[in-house]
Structure 1
């Protein structure tokens, strides 16, 4: 009798072990992320100037230092690196570079696309918003007022790009009224909702809903994915579909669900997630830029809190593994053809850092 009970218990234990989630053998994403981060510092950081260069190849025919967009990619990536290794302090160091792009010109302070000490260029609403999103992620994690102040500054600047032409929405860049883009409205919704969660000021929620409704009316495809922009003069749609545009709107729905608890937003988030899976990841290869995909991964990661199905992450992971296997150069940077830009490296660094966290927390 004792032997029988032991045998039954042993069999039950074996069955239970097989039912438990198992860690997938394969890439060590944490190690890959740390290696890439070191290589970025070695190949892109200009110690003498405290700037980053745009291309790893210093002879590449371009500006002397990087565009702000590249720093947007790196700053978010370094936020994720601090999450997997809290002892590291990357964000404040990065910001000593970012603040050199600051421009206090009216109607509101914001960040130039290129530092004025070299050559003053346009201010883009989306570049500023990416900075704001990272700042708000850092604020939620650290509760430091410094980051909230940046988020509020960016919100004030982005709202100078709003008007009621074509029914509302934000333009893409300052001084250019030709298009209203998903890449400026999607992150604008998220920033407003992050600020609402942080401050509970209803104005932020009202803004988010205003932009959200405009986006869905003008730039959502029937599939659930999102088109690129509305051309104001002709009232026509540029129907390119990029992963980051779908990513911001997927994440917008998740934030709206968190803020309102209305299930319609979660239902829509799941619909968009499914459409993105079929369009962007069915072939186990990325359709567009690494950084674009990093933005969509943000949404898939957040969706796991409400939809535990890991199929989206696993499909994304196959694309990452394919890139690691086939598109790493001899120095460890992403992309074999030259020139290798900082945006792509920052995008992949964010992806690797997020997968490192997911690998630990969700047994992927």
Structure 2
């Protein structure tokens, strides 16, 4: 009996020890992306792993928004290694200098270009600000400042303020363009210490809470200004994530406990609503943005509850939703954005102690 117990213990310990770490999982995903979702001839990335079914030869910008943040997080974990540059080079192919301000098109400019979405641009700015904070390379700050200028062309006083979602489209103002807009403005303040940027962040913050926050504390998707501010009441993890992180950053800057208490309220509400039967929803990248908020809050209050929930879900993704090519997802065709989302999640979890 003793020998059998020892055998089982050794077997369990060995199997457990062989599980890849979060950092190893992130690197494995990046290798899989470079193998199955990258065209080395054009040096651009693909929308999904099914090249025959893809709408275009290359991915829309949204996938790149996820990948640039994920590779930044990987570089922060794996010191001295370079992952971002090929992604940055690819993103540069979406850059468009057309008026009223330079920004990034939704598709490769030299092929056909596309609309410019304020949120796509904001996600890139956030990644570049994070890279600037980490590396102090001026090019990241320069491009992020440029994106701030572009995003503010999407602001007006219709419906009392707020940023539109897409350039030239006055039909919708979304949490997904105002939440990250707050973060970009805060990061501008952190980089420059110019109060005008903090004022902008607070302006957008108050408007988003007034117009888009549900009684539960979570955030509706959008309002429709041309339809009497009709609410699109869909709830997504990433909208809570940006506002959660915004509250933490505002607390860090102002030391006003209201922001910390609100961040804690949002974290609790998000777990109650989104974490069902031990799982978050299947939109990996949306969950990565929520984890950004959880990580920011954890650094302040040390409560691992939300980190542990994300780790539980991430373990199940690796065990149950990974294919033979080491790509993840519940569908046969694996999308770039989903890979980037899980890559970021694993990299962040690797960094959190």
Q: TM-score, normalised by structure 2?
A: 0.93
**What RMSD, in angstroms, separates the aligned Cα atoms of the two structures?**
1.2
How many angstroms does 1:245 deviate by?
A: 0.4
Aligned partner of 2:50 in structure 1 is 57
For structure 1, the 5+ residue unaligned runs are 1-23
Contact 1:102 1:112 (8 Å CA) reproduced: yes
- Distance, in Å, in 2 between the alignment partners of 1:97 and 1:355 is 26
| Aligned position for 1:8 | none
Instruction: Report the Cα distance in structure 1 between the residues aligned to 2:208 and 2:314, rounded to whole angstroms.
Output: 30
After superposition, give the CA deviation of every residue in 1:271-311 in whole Å (9 maximum; x if it has no partner). 00110111112421122410000000011111112111101
Does residue 242 of the first structure (1) align with residue 227 of the second (2)? no
CA-to-aligned-CA distance 1:324-363 (integer Å, 9 cap, x gap): 12111111100252221100000010011111112xxx2x
Instruction: Report the counterpart of residue 335 of structure 2 in structure 1.
Output: 341
> Gapped runs of 5+ residues in structure 2?
1-15
Alpha-carbon distance, 1:121 to partner: 1.1
Do residues 92 (structure 1) and 85 (structure 2) align? yes
1:299 is the counterpart of 2:293: yes
Q: Which residue of 1 aligns with 2:263?
A: 269
Q: Which moved more, 1:189-198 or 1:53-62?
A: 53-62
C-alpha separation in 1, matches of 2:162 and 2:330: 39
Aligned to 1:326: 320
Q: Is the 8 A contact 1:132 1:154 kept in 2?
A: yes
Q: Is the 8 A contact 2:154 2:164 kept in 1?
A: yes
Counterpart position of 2:200: 207
2:273 to 279, 292, 312: 279
* Contact 2:267–2:294 under 8 Å retained in 1: yes
Asked whether 1:110 is paired with 2:97, we answer no
Pairing 1:101–2:79 present: no
**Aligned positions, number:** 336
| Aligned pairs for 1:23-38 within 5 A | 28-38=21-31
Query: Among residues 187, 193, 200, which one is paired with 2:180 in the alignment?
Result: 187
Cα pair 2:47 2:54 within 8 Å, conserved: no
Q: Deviations over 1:164-210 (max 9, x none)?
A: 00000000000100000000000000010011011001111010000
Q: For residue 71 of structure 1, report the CA deviation from its aligned partner.
A: 0.5
What is the rounded CA distance, in whole Å, between the counterparts of 1:294 and 1:148 in structure 2?
23
User: C-alpha distance in 2, partners of 1:125/1:63?
Assistant: 22
SS at match of 2:299: coil
Whole-angstrom CA distance in 2 between matches of 1:316 and 1:309: 13
Larger CA Rg, structure 1 vs 2? 1
Give the 4+ runs in structure 1 shifted more than 4 A: 24-27
Which residue is 1:13 aligned to?
Answer: none
Q: Contact (CA 8 Å) 2:328, 2:334: kept in 1 or not?
A: yes
The aligned counterpart of 1:170 is 163
Q: TM-score, normalised by structure 1?
A: 0.90
Contact 1:112–1:123 (Cα < 8 Å) also in 2: yes
